Amino acid sequence: MASATTGTANNFLEKYGDRTITCTPYALSKLGVEKNKCFFKIEEYSILCIPFQFGFKRSLFLATITPRELIFFQKYVNTIIGLSISFVPPNRSPAKFLLRCTLNSLGQMKGRENVGLFVADFKTNPEELIILLGGFLETQDRLQVQYEEYGSMLIKMTSPVAKQLGYNLESVISEPGKETRKIQILSLTSKSIEHMEAEGTPVRLPGTPVTYEVIFKKARLFLTGTVASADILPQGPVRTVSNLTYSPELVEIIDDYWYTIRNPVKIAK
């Protein structure tokens, strides 16, 4: 009889077997990758590397390697090599994997002279690793759904609300080629942000690309988007509304907020 672990791993493979995970800082943090404990073992050589893209059958890694070393290690392409990688996922037990891989290809990272791109095909993929990667993808699918759901649920940024969100009222906006400016956030959804700036601030045109740096207790977020509208309020300050691109970190924070609103903690008398 197959174990529950085997069943879960098989379900993830069936659902996500062809998906890959781009290893952004957010993804590496959520997966709990220990960057100083990931390395290839090629005969007597150990090469420290970092994940660039995870897959269930094939993964890509980056490593600092000179052009001369790159030429030397080319001879190991299509041979069996070892990969040691450790994870300390949030709220889960640490895991370390020693994997046998085929070095599918090795080349220079475009635009980075001393960085090599290793493409490794797994000979086998442990169930625990499949569940770790599959669980991450399942969470990302849920966050994408919540991104759409919370896109129409406006949060007015009052002081009590900011406290619940863990927002410390520090934010700036920037656009290409211009200095950053402090802003006051008026309202927020997973898809939009409304903010106010001081009197005399230039009014941005719709479509202008912008980046927001918003500091929460949990994380410092960099949110990208484009201006939807801007106008000057009667008192003089400039109000701007921007459409935001998908940010899993922001969706998580907003989800926690709405969960707290729906499920307030009852204090015993």
pLDDT, tens digit (0-9, with 9 covering 90-100), for 14-49 = 999 999 999 999 999 999 999 899 999 999 999 999
Q: Is residue 269 part of a domain?
A: no
Q: Is residue 215 part of a domain?
A: yes
Token code pair at residue 187 = 């309202």
Q: Is residue 267 part of a domain?
A: no
Please tell me whether residues 122 and 181 are part of one structural domain. Answer: no
For CA atoms 77, 80, 82, 87, the dihedral sign is: positive
Please tell me whether residues 10 and 62 are part of one structural domain. Answer: yes
Q: Is residue 169 part of a domain?
A: yes
Strand 167-174 vs strand 209-216: parallel, antiparallel, or unpaired?
Answer: antiparallel
Please tell me whether residues 42 and 140 are part of one structural domain. Answer: yes
pLDDT, tens digit (0-9, with 9 covering 90-100), for 90-124 = 888 899 999 999 999 999 988 888 999 999 999 99
What is the count of structural domains for the chain?
A: 2
CATH classification at residue 109: 2.40.10.220
Q: Is residue 27 part of a domain?
A: yes
**For position 268, what pLDDT does the model report?**
46
Cα-trace Rg, the chain: 23
**For position 3, what pLDDT does the model report?**
63
What is the CA 2 to chain-centroid distance, rounded? Answer: 33
Please tell me whether residues 191 and 116 are part of one structural domain. Answer: no
Q: Is residue 268 part of a domain?
A: no
Q: Is residue 207 part of a domain?
A: yes
Please tell me whether residues 100 and 15 are part of one structural domain. Answer: yes
**How is the beta sheet containing 167-174 ordered, strand by strand?**
155-156, 184-188, 192-197, 238-244, 220-232, 209-216, 167-174, 181-182
Last residue of a domain, one of 100, 123, 146: 146
Please tell me whether residues 240 and 176 are part of one structural domain. Answer: yes
Q: How many residues does the chain have?
A: 269
CA separation for the pair 269, 266 (Å, rounded):
9
**For position 264, what pLDDT does the model report?**
65
Please tell me whether residues 133 and 166 are part of one structural domain. Answer: no
Task: List per-block mean pLDDT (blocks of 10 residues) for the chain, which spans 269 residues.
Answer: 73 95 95 94 96 97 95 96 95 92 94 92 94 96 97 95 93 92 96 96 95 94 97 95 97 94 61
Domain of residue 161 covers: 153-262
**For position 265, what pLDDT does the model report?**
54
**For position 83, what pLDDT does the model report?**
97
Last residue of a domain, one of 112, 146, 180: 146
Please tell me whether residues 27 and 110 are part of one structural domain. Answer: yes
CA separation for the pair 46, 82 (Å, rounded):
9
Last residue of a domain, one of 146, 166, 188: 146
**How is the beta sheet containing 50-55 ordered, strand by strand?**
20-22, 50-55, 58-64, 115-122, 95-108, 80-87, 39-42, 45-48
Please tell me whether residues 142 and 157 are part of one structural domain. Answer: no
**For position 6, what pLDDT does the model report?**
79
Q: Is residue 172 part of a domain?
A: yes
Please tell me whether residues 61 and 108 are part of one structural domain. Answer: yes
Please tell me whether residues 159 and 49 are part of one structural domain. Answer: no
